[in-house]
Structure 1
Amino acid sequence: MRRVLGRPVDEQTRCVHYRTPLDVIAIKFGCCQEYYPCHSCHEETAGHPAVQWPVEEYDAEAVLCGVCGHELSVREYLAVDGCPRCRARFNPGCALHAHLYFEPAPQD
């Protein structure tokens, strides 16, 4: 499993801020290429401001399933509600914070 920084509380990447049964992803921040459980963990411990993933880099692996360790591209993550490898469900509430991690895709 990849190293997850910040304030994780278990081996499935839950943290002190988000720790429901569905909070099982970590995000690789484009600014530092390090995985954190959430935007708050990055803000509290990274020592620099977060930078969103640009749309042009949506094919980069940037989301880690905390259940099986599978890495998803930004594009893949935004299109699913769970891990394509192990079928672990992801928290649908994470969509409320997507703008903190990913630059919004242009609307057609």
Structure 2
Amino acid sequence: MVVHGTKVEGVKVDRETRCKHYSTEKDVIAIKFKCCDTYYPCYKCHEEVADHDAIVWAKDEWQSKAILCGKCGTELTILQYMNCQATCPHCEASFNSGCQLHYHLYFEG
């Protein structure tokens, strides 16, 4: 699926980055996986679609743009995303605050 001009891989991805696994109104981000430089809505989509294991972003890479807002298409750095209080700093869309529980799957602890 192409979301605001950016390709997002996954399972049943919609126009705002929701997927088969996470599809609430607030599930509107995609994460660029370090291992393949590809956006996916979630780790489960990566597990189902990619042919390799995920690699987490190291702390010294958190200035990299690796989060896509599914509402407006803005790319955020990892630090911007972690510090945004679950709200897009560009369009003010609400993100799922529960995603923090999965940070360890994407970002070095």
TM normalised by structure 2 equals 0.93
Identity level (%): 54
8 A Cα contact 1:8 1:37, kept in partner: no
Matches of 1:5 and 1:33, distance apart in 2: 11
Please identify runs of 4+ aligned residues in structure 1 that moved more than 3 A: none
**1:59 aligned to 2:73?**
no
Q: SS of the counterpart of 2:7?
A: coil
Q: Deviations over 1:81-105 (max 9, x none)?
A: 111110001001000001000001x
2:96 counterpart (88, 91, 95): 91
Report the count of equivalent residues. 104
* Contact preservation (8 Å) 2:28, 2:70: yes
Aligned-partner residue type, residue 44 of structure 1: E
Task: Name the residue aligned to 1:70.
Answer: 74
Root-mean-square deviation over aligned CA pairs: 0.7
Does the aligned pair in 1 maintain the 2:13–2:41 contact within 8 Å?
no
Return the TM-score normalized by structure 1: 0.94
Consecutive unaligned residues in structure 2, runs of 5 or more: none
